[in-house]
Amino acid sequence: TSHFVGLQIGVLLKGICYLVEEIFHLQSRYHGSFWRALSACFPLHWHRPMLLACGSAYVTLVNGDRQPLSFHLALASLCQLLNLALGLH
């Protein structure tokens, strides 16, 4: 479950990086529409159900660990950023 949550966090982080780049091209590529740029950077039509299912399973499993959820999410985010930085995706 944590692997799938990590993969979903990776997709969200990549989408954020793409969005930051596409902000500079709003007029030329998206005719000034922020929502078109957002939908191009975050293909959530398939990832949304997977993110919800993995997120709820992850919260259920982590509650017995006695560590805060924010700690686990931060650790998974750092691991995904390291994967992106090293080109391991």
Report the b/e string of 42-58 with b at 16+ CB within 10 A: beeeebeeebeebbeeb
pTM exceeding the 0.85 threshold for the entire prediction: no
What's residue 53's pLDDT?
67
What's residue 89's pLDDT?
60
Phi-psi region of 31 (alpha: psi -120 to 50; beta: other; left: phi over 0): left
Per-position pLDDT tens, the chain of length 89: 666 667 777 778 888 889 999 999 989 998 989 988 888 887 666 566 666 666 676 676 666 667 777 777 777 777 777 777 777 66
What's residue 82's pLDDT?
74
What's residue 24's pLDDT?
92
